[in-house]
Amino acid sequence: MSELPVILAVDTTSEFGSLAVRRAHETVAEVQLHSPDGFGHLIIQAIEEVLRSANTRLTEIECFAAASGPGSFTGVRVGLSAVKGLAEALHKPVAAISNLRALSLFGRAPLRAVALDARRGQVYGAVYDAHARVVVAETVAVWDEWVKTVPAGAEFIGFGDGFTSAPRWLAAAVAECAEMDGKAGWSDPVAVDANYVRKSDAELFWKDG
């Protein structure tokens, strides 16, 4: 494996999906998709397109990265399943990257508080430093309660008034996080799982029942 690996990243965690190829500290190709109906029927074609744009063969990919959530339960699974399947077939590692962490790369301050709408009057939130290292762990909480945990002076990143704006398409940032981690932070495909932060309704039902 080279010191500057070639990384293929996939994000299908919301209706705004994307794929990116990163090589030598640079995004060399990116495909942006918008599909409110999901990406299961688009993912293979999109992978072929981004590889073609990057002039890269699938066998040249040294790490497969995926946005692991929080996000759409089905969407998270589509992206993770795609990269895990490819990585297993090619005997390559996988990097599962939190959407919140990827979003933190779009800030400029030393501390970056990232929030995503979790519905039900709650947000997914976390605080990272300028190197995308977690400072305040990811959680799901009511906004007013979560804000109390954010260190003073932190920059807020997300979608909405009062936030530093971030793009909806995250694959390039996911690939950058994977590159930051290096091979020491990558995993065997079998060990990689989703990062839902909040349990699904089905899990909560069986737990409470």
Three-class DSSP category at 71: coil
Q: What is the pLDDT of residues 108-132, one digit of tens each?
A: 999 999 999 999 899 999 999 999 9
What is the arithmetic mean of pLDDT over 137-163? Answer: 95
Fold of 103-165: Nucleotidyltransferase; domain 5 (3.30.420)
Report whether 67 contacts 166 (CB < 8 A). no
pLDDT of residue 98: 97
CATH 3.30.420.40 is held by the domain 7-99+168-202: yes
Phi, psi values for residue 76, rounded to 5°: -60, -45
Where exactly are the structural domains of the chain? 7-99+168-202, 103-165
Using left for φ > 0, alpha for ψ between -120 and 50, and beta otherwise, residue 120 falls in left
pLDDT grade for 183, boundaries at 50, 70 and 90: confident
pLDDT grade for 206, boundaries at 50, 70 and 90: very low
Q: At a CB cut-off of 8 Å and minimum separation 6, what does 1 contact?
A: 62, 183
Binning the chain into helix, strand and coil, the percentages to the nearest 5 are 35, 30, 35
Structure tokens at 38: 């999901």
Q: What is the pLDDT of residues 57-89, one digit of tens each?
A: 999 999 999 999 999 999 999 999 999 999 999
pLDDT of residue 161: 85
Q: What is the pLDDT of residues 18-31, one digit of tens each?
A: 999 999 999 999 99
Q: At a CB cut-off of 8 Å and minimum separation 6, what does 118 contact?
A: 70, 124, 140, 197, 198
Mean pLDDT estimate for the chain: 92
Question: Would you say residue 39 has pLDDT above 50?
Answer: yes
pLDDT of residue 203: 41
Domains 7-99+168-202 and 103-165 are alike in CATH topology: yes
Question: Would you say residue 149 has pLDDT above 80?
Answer: yes
The pLDDT > 70 percentage for the chain reads 93
The pLDDT > 90 percentage for the chain reads 88
Phi, psi values for residue 67, rounded to 5°: -70, 120
**CA atoms of 192 and 187, how far apart (whole Å):** 7
Q: What are the Cα distances from residue 181, in Å, to 73, 123, 177, 184, 204?
A: 25, 26, 6, 7, 33
What is the arithmetic mean of pLDDT over 164-178? Answer: 96
Residue 134 sits at the vertex; the CA angle it makes with 183 and 155, to the nearest 5 degrees, is 125
* Edge-first strand listing for the sheet containing 155-158: 134-142, 122-129, 111-119, 155-158, 164-165
